[in-house]
Structure 1
Amino acid sequence: MDNFEVIIREAIPKDAAEILAFTNIVNQETDFIVVDELGIELTEELLAINLESIYESENNILLVAEVNGMIVGNASVKASSEAPIRHVGEVGMSIFKDFWGMGLGTILLEEIIAWSEETEVIYRLELTVQERNQRAIHLYQKLGFKEEASLERGTRSNDGEFLTVLLMSKMIN
């Protein structure tokens, strides 16, 4: 991270077009991400509305990482508005491949954890990660996530191979 400045900030509705472009590129760069088909088909207008809703929510957030004004990574917490489970936040994160191994994932995840601690709404963060994504698993463990379950055939690779997915969590407060 010595050669460039990274700005981490909340996504806002005017970021919709760039977030869609970022997502399309990331989904082509790696098959570690389980793509939500709705996310692929989301229009810029619908994403802008979604981003406004996320921005106003007390238990959801989408952070973007910018370098030279370009989004190169993001991290999110997605939680329900339903009372019994509104304290559980599902973490998602993606980074352009050119920025892997530079500490950006650590920065984004630390920001997500700090935000969760400040909300006084989120008390459990959880995520799923492909067992073969050892780099990500190491990051999650480094920041206090613990493995809860191993889900055989939890997802499929782009070529149709069944893959094991780990469920990991971190308790907040």
Structure 2
Amino acid sequence: MSEDIDVTIREALPEDAQQIVQVSQTIGKQTEFLVMDEFGMNLPVGLLENQLETIYNSQAQLLLVAVVEAEIVGTASVRTSEEKRIDHIGEVGISLLKDYWGMGLGSTLLEELIDWAQQTNQIRRLELTVQKQNKRAIHLYKKYGFQTEAVMKRGARGDDGRFLDVLLMSKMIDE
């Protein structure tokens, strides 16, 4: 990482639910690059605790947290479907507090997700959507072998109401 910060990357635990909700709300206020807004995940903490337990015990889903000085500063996830015909596809999501952008933490999280996906023997495709205006994220994804498959016109709406194009990007795990 380009900055000297002491960060721990680990799987999210049910007891992280409150902090994850708070961080998601902060991130939602800091950037319009993500689907979530100032309400963040907008989940009751108890429900998120249950979901975190399920994810932690899953062989095909992962939620990582980046922790600095006992505070969660970001998350990275791979979600899969329970539908047999598409359970080989992992949907990637990464979000970081703005203070931690540009430090290499996104790269570290993405590497962890890719390594984990390669070891699952189930996930053969990773995919994500990213706003076309999010140049830093697009650069990161391309650096790790993601390719643009489609441009979704008006795929999101900015905070000011303007429509934004969104890219669908993917990476094949076994190629």
Number of the residue aligned with 1:170:
171
Secondary structure at the counterpart of residue 40 of structure 1: coil
CA distance in 1, matches of 2:61, 2:7: 22
Number of the residue aligned with 1:156:
157
The alpha carbon displacement at 1:82 in A equals 1.1
**In the TM superposition, what whole-angstrom CA distance separates every residue of 1:55-80 from its partner, at most 9, and x where no partner exists?**
11111110000111111111000110
Post-superposition, which runs of at least 4 consecutive aligned residues in structure 1 deviate over 6 A? 36-39
Please tell me whether the aligned partners of residues 151 and 165 of structure 2 are also in contact (alpha carbons under 8 angstroms).
yes
**In the TM superposition, what whole-angstrom CA distance separates every residue of 1:33-66 from its partner, at most 9, and x where no partner exists?**
0128996331110000000111111111100001
Question: For residues 104-115 of structure 1, what are the structure 2 equivalents within 5 Å?
Answer: 104-115=105-116
Number of the residue aligned with 2:70:
69
Matched, 1:6 2:11: no
Unaligned ranges ≥5, structure 2: none
Pairwise CA RMSD: 1.5
- How many residue pairs align between the two structures? 173
Which has the larger displacement, 2-11 or 159-168? 2-11
Secondary structure at the counterpart of residue 163 of structure 1: strand
CA distance in 2, matches of 1:36, 1:141: 26
Number of the residue aligned with 1:125:
126
Question: For residues 29-48 of structure 1, what are the structure 2 equivalents within 5 Å?
Answer: 29-35=30-36, 40-48=41-49
Unaligned ranges ≥5, structure 1: none
CA distance in 2, matches of 1:4, 1:41: 29
Which has the larger displacement, 67-76 or 38-47? 38-47
Please tell me whether the aligned partners of residues 28 and 38 of structure 2 are also in contact (alpha carbons under 8 angstroms).
no
**In the TM superposition, what whole-angstrom CA distance separates every residue of 1:116-170 from its partner, at most 9, and x where no partner exists?**
0011111000000000000000000000000000010011011110000000000
Number of the residue aligned with 2:98:
97
Secondary structure at the counterpart of residue 155 of structure 1: strand
Matched, 1:81 2:78: no
CA distance in 1, matches of 2:99, 2:21: 18
CA distance in 2, matches of 1:93, 1:9: 14
TM-score (norm 2): 0.95
User: What is the identity percentage for the equivalent residue pairs of Structure 1 and Structure 2?
Assistant: 54
CA distance in 2, matches of 1:143, 1:75: 15
Number of the residue aligned with 1:143:
144
CA distance in 2, matches of 1:125, 1:81: 15
